[in-house]
A and B are shown apart, each in its own frame.
Chain A
């Protein structure tokens, strides 16, 4: 009893979950925040940059000589009136996209989300189809020849 109910509601639940996920992402991306101080901004930028001579650490988390110099350059650039994007770009110009801990290319974000959405849709379709009763026409018809053979076998058993 519970299984057909689950199957009937699978698609709306999946769709609802999807919309909720989309809403959550939109809220996170669009929420207004207080303007950060220069020190906070510098820390945010440093946290987004990969420490060049460390293993998996951000510039903010490392005490290496390179990270220290990059933090000094971030402060200097912010003090000179450059925006956070301009500061980040100045490091991308030298190291390439590699220096960013979060990939800037939209494909890197969109691909996994696209695959996840496709998987949810396919799962919902599969559950929906599995729950649907089979059409009468879908049952293979018994041919006249089969009927005759069955009759013969039954008569042979009776005899």
Chain B
């Protein structure tokens, strides 16, 4: 009976410690996306250079949708990784930027300074697309497959490695799908 009573200590302590370990091992600011496995929200927005881009146009190829701002320090390194990805994947992957709470002038200055992108940057003046994607702050990115299904959310800056892993996963799933 006494041994049983002492058994209560690990029974109470172990779950609490595991819960704390789980809680402290994750970034409290990182929010898991509710959109994974679901179709991306539809939109039709004007780009920095005045064109209109809609979800329908983005079907057929994987998309990296990147929410960024010129005032976001970690967007600088991420921009370099995206320039690299754009060169590496060419037209097989579509990169689309979305300006988050920023001005077109701020975006143009950023791009002139850190490298002119080959991809469009959408203007989201009232932030409704950011809300539709559940964005809490830049940089945040979504990898969407060729069928328009959201497959991955990156909280924080994209790196070459993350792009290679996640875009590679979507591309190989598409190849496997075509092979079936």
Give residues in A with beta carbon < 8 Å to B: 52-53, 65-66, 69-70, 72-73, 91-96, 98-99
Cα–Cα, bound, A95→B38 (Å): 13
What's the nearest-Cβ distance from chain B to residue A120, in Å?
Answer: 16
What's the nearest-Cβ distance from chain B to residue A69, in Å?
Answer: 5
Cα–Cα, bound, A98→B27 (Å): 13
CB-based contact B132/A94 at 8 Å: yes
Cα–Cα, bound, A93→B134 (Å): 9
CB-based contact B133/A94 at 8 Å: yes
CB-based contact A95/B31 at 8 Å: yes
CB-based contact A95/B134 at 8 Å: yes
B104-142 to A contact mask, C-beta < 8 Å, 1/0: 000000000000000000000011101111111100000
Main SS of chain A's interface residues?
helix
CB-based contact B131/A96 at 8 Å: no
CB-based contact B137/A95 at 8 Å: no
In-complex Cβ contact of A69 among B131, B136, B137 (8 A): B131
CB-based contact A65/B131 at 8 Å: no
| Interface size class of chain B, counting residues whose CB lies under 8 Å from the partner chain | 10 to 19
Q: A65-B127, A69-B131, A70-B131 are in contact. Are A53 and B137 (CB under 8 A)?
A: yes
CB-based contact A73/B131 at 8 Å: yes
Greatest chain B CB density within 10 A among A73, A92, A94, A98 is at A94
Give residues in B with beta carbon < 8 Å to A: 31-35, 41, 101, 126-128, 130-137
CB-based contact A96/B34 at 8 Å: yes
What's the nearest-Cβ distance from chain B to residue A155, in Å?
Answer: 39
Nearest-neighbor residue (CB-CB) of A115 within chain B: B12
Contacts of B127 in A (CB 8 A): 65-66, 69
CB-based contact A94/B101 at 8 Å: no
Contacts of A91 in B (CB 8 A): 131
Contacts of B133 in A (CB 8 A): 94
CB-based contact A53/B131 at 8 Å: no
What's the nearest-Cβ distance from chain A to residue B2, in Å?
Answer: 15
Cα–Cα, bound, A37→B132 (Å): 27
Contacts of A52 in B (CB 8 A): 131, 134-137
CB-based contact B130/A96 at 8 Å: no
Closest 7 CB pairs of A and B: A96-B34, A95-B134, A52-B136, A94-B134, A69-B127, A98-B31, A53-B137
Extra contacts, 10 of them, besides A53-B101, A72-B126, A96-B134 (Cβ < 8 A), are A52-B131, A52-B135, A65-B126, A66-B130, A73-B131, A93-B34, A94-B41, A94-B132, A94-B133, A96-B32
Contacts of B126 in A (CB 8 A): 65, 69, 72
Nearest-neighbor residue (CB-CB) of B33 within chain A: A96
CB-based contact A96/B136 at 8 Å: no
Cα–Cα, bound, A92→B31 (Å): 12
CB-based contact B136/A94 at 8 Å: no
Q: A52-B135, A94-B133, A94-B134 are in contact. Are A69 and B128 (CB under 8 A)?
A: yes
